[in-house]
Structure 1
């Protein structure tokens, strides 16, 4: 596989994916804005590791600026685009909504247009489990209706799926959307609960336990996410010959369009999740119990039957194994930084 563009290459998932593709000998073009939503030093550390590979090229780029995106596509014959760049975070979207419109809507539009005009063979893009919103039928299936988002972040991800379908229909651009379920692991995002919990417990600070601990999440280890993406890169989205407009399947189409869940298919209670961190750190958390936050949901649970059927893959890393690897990395990484930058989100 050659000339793969990974947007958000200095981000959590983008870094791990780019690193895997580089190790497999692919020519990878990395794009990132390097914004300060969280510690830019962490992003820079990831980027420095990618730059050690000769088959990696990096571009500092803001997706909402069309001319910057077009210039990259003009100069390089890009076969596959894996679009992972986005303004992330459910809670941040409540107080900073315009950031999501710029990056997740305008930026995605520029990627779609570039893929169209420069003849990309396949666009894979990050959606999110947050699109299930107010749905309560478990496990969440790609065949379920997702018209009731409860955060602007979720709404932009749902909009991305709709925009992608339009381009698949009008221009026959193969697009594959991936609904990620609570991704975690080494080099993760500091605004995620497992990261902030670890930092607080190690510093003897209280952790905020929302919905009084009555939460479940389908935590998915980063290596499983990456393996799923790599397998799907080689499986270009195709039309569903059995699709019917009077009984529509939301995850497929008469266009070359697909949606998949990538989740561990094993929800974990928040209390158990915290206890694993406590056990591995040999420290007890100081818990501050709080009500549910606006834009949040009590549980997530992925149905991954379509993923198993189409690429014979199902995430399988246990929460104990995955958190253990994260904590090992966390201790080693922050021990090597004399004065780490504090996370501006928490």
Structure 2
């Protein structure tokens, strides 16, 4: 969640911390911190699936624990410090607001490895990781525009930070690639997980004419509202089709299992290093959920082709020409934004109706 930055190294990758010694006999202890309730869908649920993948792959060689619904800030620092004090040798902090608390605790426990999802600050024993969510957003925008009758779509967004802005922009660019007049209206909730606010935001967007709603929030509220009101939705984080069997077109999903298993194995072997990972379609960290029966075959085939092109690098979601919402040129024709520029994105593209 949160600010995807990439390439903004504040600390060089460190050499691998030592392999586990005889004194560390027994299963390796690994901790996870989640910003919202796990539930059965959403951001924290996807990370929980990653934790379960570690258990399934490594069995008795590891002992994983988690703490859910941890607020960003002081509470996060307390929880992360408790996990370190309890002997966890690798700790995954899975929300943007955990960045500074993670670094503070890491300084106090230099022999413990920490990983922070979506942050940009690193240290010798702190690595960062995230996914190129915007790749999925671009294709989802294409699908939404193909299914929209009004050409107006809505986005229920949490916080105006670069990762969220990237998603809104990519969704809009994808929509406009098939409907140049498409518009995307934005309503902010100022919360990662608040079903009530998310529902209210969706109601506002529907009242404003949006007939496809997407979101960058954690609950299943948008899919539920869409089903209740007969409005198409595109879910985020997890497949939420069971909450919108008739109206949820697909979902931009996040897949963390392979990453978590690989990093735990590296920590066990003493080959773990600090650094930054930013994976997308190519790496299997971003996928689209199975399509609703309402999505025509031609749209499915179009989406599959675009996913393949993004994966092989022949299509870049942020390739020019791109104008900002005031009509000012931001990316020239034939040029493409760098990872650093994408990571620092703080402006909306043409077609977005909303303010940062």
* TM-score (structure 2 length as normaliser): 0.32
Q: Say which structure is richer in strand.
A: 2
More contact order relative to length (CA 8 Å, sep ≥ 6): 2
* TM-score (structure 1 length as normaliser): 0.33
